[in-house]
Amino acid sequence: MIRVSSIQRMRARGAIAGRRAEALEPRCVLSGVPLLLAEINPDGASHPAEFAGVEGVAFFAADNGSTGSELWMTNGTTAGTVLVRDINPLGSSSPANLVNVNGTLFFSADDGLNGSELWKSDGTSDGTTMVKNIHPLGSSSPTQLINVDGTLFFAADNGVDGVELWKSDGTELGTTQVMDIHPAGSSNPASLTSVDDKLFFSADDGISGIELWMSDPGSATTMLVKDINAGSYGSYAGYLESMVSIGGTLFFTALTDQDGFELWKSDGSDAGTTMVKDINPGFDSSFPYLATAVGDTLFFTATDGSSGFELWKSDGTGAGTMQVKNINPVPGTGSAPDELTAVGGTLFFQANDGTAGTELWKSDGTETGTQRVLDIDPVGSSDPRELTNVEGVLYFRASDGFSGIELWQSDGTPAGTQRAADIASGAIQSTPMHLVEIDGTLLFSAEASAGNQEPWIVRPKPSAVVGTHLFYNNSKFDGFSPDVNASDDLAIATDKQAYLPGSGVATFANMSSYSRGINGIMIDLAEAHGPITTSDFVFQTGVSNTPGLWPAAPAPAAIAVRSGAGTGGSDRIEVTWDDSAIKFAWLQVTVKANLRTNLPIPYVFLYGSSVANSGMGDTATHAITSAIDELFARNNPGLNQDVTSAADYNRDGSVTAVDQILARSNPGLLIKPDIAAAAAEVVSRLVFYNESSFDGGHAGVDALDDHAIAHHKYAYRPGGDLSTFNSMTSYPRGLNGVIVDLSGSHPNITAADFTFRVGTNNTPSAWASAPPPADVVVRPGAGAGGSDRVAIVWDAGSIQNTWLEVTVAANANTGLSSPDVFYFGNRIGDTGSGSAAAAITSALDEVATLSKTGPAMSAANLYDFDRSGIVSALDVIVARNNVGTTPKLNIAPPPAAPPATRQAESLADVAGAGKSHLLSRRNAEPHAVAVALASLQTSVDDFTADRDRLEGLLDLLATIPRVGRAS
């Protein structure tokens, strides 16, 4: 088992007695929960890859087991993860080289008829088309796709000129070869890099060898920048793809016969293309590579010939090019820095100092500021890979020697460097791959179980609509300006509020009487990830109770985001329309749930326009502009009216005869709609550590409970295959806090709207009723996306070492159309070291906890069992005194479940896959149980054999008193 082999390596190094625990810096909890986005291939691995963001969605390649590797897209939700098009009906089209150019996705794909060619997509099946069959008799094999100032550049072979530089505007006519650089062969353009709207690349013209070239879309010129190394084999400019742009200057690696491979820079001219420094003097090369910009400083890896490959930096001058630190001081060895990644003003990377193995390091560019962040695997190398910056938090994959290769996160401090989740529990590893940040969201692939590689998502900071406003654009109150600016806040109709579906019949408070109609709205969006555009909304207008049938509204005149200007420092999004574009109608606004808005569910609201209406002549069901409104303006004249004046119909700050004329000229009737609310959805299913240090030790329900949420845990759902440690807590108080976030308003929810059962087998219908909750509390608007947060708490210790089934009823109080069922388990003192079939608390957990003592500033800490905020001897005792096993679940989906209950099934159906594989899985349940039991017995046998090997380490525990601890 991996854990035992790690302990053996620790013993071989003699590291237990000699190592000191590093002082941990206090740190607040890092947010972000890795969640399975969709089970695209229910019977295997979908192998998601090539993630690319376009207009709030992510495109990627995946295989659902039926269509082969094809183009998929996601808006960050399970329901919104869909096949775009089966490009190759007879096999895999293998989409690759995905890139966004002006809101259009470009990629290479093979439709089975034309070979690998250039394609584009707008996210629809019909809008996914081949741009051009560049090589009519074969494959042009487009590669190195890059956006340069709105033009797509790439390398391709038309079958005549060889591999040359091409460009495209997305049309067949506009897809052309830029230049036949090598008339007698292929120039093989490589290392394509954008610098100030120009393209730099390496190419071979057949005369000068591989040299630095440049193409300027603006002037339509493509030329050799400089023949750096005269001769037919060239300088190999961009060797190891090390081209990087900083402040309009290109840095790259190049070879000369005199100096070898060294660091160069270029401004695009012959004279401005020079060697920065001969780091390893003479022909002995320094081989600069992995160049990365952090602000105005270039970091890279190189060797000076004496210290091996180490971390270097450069400001573009010879004097400012220097080794940052000799991390591995053994002469000629080097620390081999790799995975160089900028997070704010800090460089993160992996390096091996010759003592701790290959671990996570950081640097501010100084020797003293270049430090190991954490020795993640104290007995070997954690080998951090795929370092990715997401909103100032570093995500990467690494192994601590116990849990296999999993997803980790770091804020640059030891305490803030922790495993984000044990996606594949125990010694099984999820091996996260293809990590990419898109609109503030992390997307990647991982295996929750062996051979089940699927797309996963981390949203570090969930978003919510925290305010909506109607404002009178181009009125006296914003200076009669149609432009978007801060003065628009003075034109907000403070007496008006948005109508929300499901809130009954609309009222005059939801309607505008402005003579210019609805020409300005605001949405305050917390934690959005811009740029927000009109494509992140749906606007419709109509005059009925069925907005789903309404046509599209006129297109907005402008949309702008004012950062931090909204409620509570949220981003204020202003949308304006031309005057009179929306009058005598209702405007429905839907804020989409996607990667840019960062909403978990769409947000819908409405405003009405009833021109020159004072509300005085309205009925309960209709707004009516009539002589009553003309009379109201006549009887209430005045200057210096405020924005809420009911008779100032043109919002010029006064009530005059003009307002009377407006009422006289606009008689009419507008319905006050009564729009039904959309069926409620369960937005989140969470478990939290009630009565822990993270909620102040309070046994009741309050806002502090949000700080005690186990964000590293997620609910097990029926039909989700074998459960994992990610759905189980190790809390000694057991399962004493569950949260359900429900969209909509649910003031009347009580314990009667839930059913709770406990058990440990795969037939929950036979489970016993769970102890009744101590309390059920609804916190309106406190959940994800502004949903209602329903917190359910039990007495401490009432549900321990078992599974809890929670069923949310489908009724008027919950608003659900069908029951929602989920599970959380508990195995006290377990760190996830059990088998695939069971959670097991054993001496392995005791030893692992002893090695992790120190502050635990996150509720996600694996070893702080009692959630006291510190891993101590008391947690070691928890593991020692709770040896035992809790089986994991493998529950079939309910027979009568609707198709949406398990999104993976509906995705398979959408892709054209049959249902036979699902039926076979359900029928195979007895066999799966037998396999699980066999696996459990194997795990027990392994543990018995491994116990002898732990003897030496267990002796270290002898000094700890064997006392119990109250839970």
Sign of the four-CA dihedral 75, 78, 80, 83? positive
* Residues 6 or more apart whose Cβ sits within 8 Å of residue 932: 722, 836, 837, 887, 888, 890
- Return the pLDDT at 79: 80
Instruction: Determine which of 367-376, 702-711, 948-957 has the lowest per-residue pLDDT on average.
Output: 948-957
| Phi, psi of 752, rounded to the nearest 5 degrees | -70, -15
Which pTM was predicted? 0.74
Mean pLDDT value across the chain? 88
Measuring CA to CA, which residue among 518, 474, 527 is closest to residue 499?
Answer: 518
C-alpha 953/C-alpha 958 separation (Å) is: 10
Please report the pLDDT score of residue 833 as a whole number.
Answer: 79
Q: Is the pLDDT of residue 610 over 60?
A: yes
Count Cβ atoms within 10 A of the Cβ of residue 741 and give its class: 0-12 exposed, 13-18 middle, 19 or more buried: buried
Bridge partners (DSSP) listed for residue 526 = 464
Place of tokens 């989920």: 822
> For 233-257, what is each residue's pLDDT tens digit?
899 998 766 799 999 999 999 999 9
Residue 499, pLDDT above cutoff 80: yes
Q: Where is average pLDDT lowest: 107-111, 187-191, 310-314, 529-533?
A: 529-533
pLDDT surpasses 90 at 959: no
Q: 55-110 pLDDT, tens per residue?
A: 999 999 999 999 999 999 999 988 889 999 999 999 999 999 999 999 999 999 99
Q: Identify whether 531 is preceded by a cis peptide bond (ω within 30 of 0).
A: yes
Calpha distance 518→577 (Å, rounded): 7
Q: What is the dihedral of CA 700, 701, 703, 706, to 10 degrees?
A: 100
Using CA of residue 134, residue 137, residue 139, residue 144, what is the dihedral sign? negative
pLDDT at residue 9 greater than cutoff 60? no
pLDDT value at 131 more than 60: yes
Out of 111-120, 312-321, 396-405, 792-801, least confident range: 396-405
Instruction: Give me 352's structure tokens.
Output: 């091996």
| Three-state secondary structure of 279-298 | CCCCCCCCCCEEEEEECCEE
Percent of the chain with pLDDT over 90: 74
Question: What pLDDT, in 10s, does the model give residues 342-381?
Answer: 999 999 999 999 999 999 999 999 999 999 999 999 999 9
Cα dist from 125 to 87, 169, 200, 536, whole Å: 9, 20, 34, 20
Query: Tokens 């690494």 appear where?
Result: 398
pLDDT band, very low/low/confident/very high, at 934 (cuts 50, 70, 90) = very low
Query: pLDDT tens digits, residue range 555-572?
Result: 999 999 999 999 999 999
Residue linked to tokens 């590669």: 143
CA 677 to chain centre: 29
pLDDT of residue 857: 63
Higher pLDDT, 819 or 893: 819
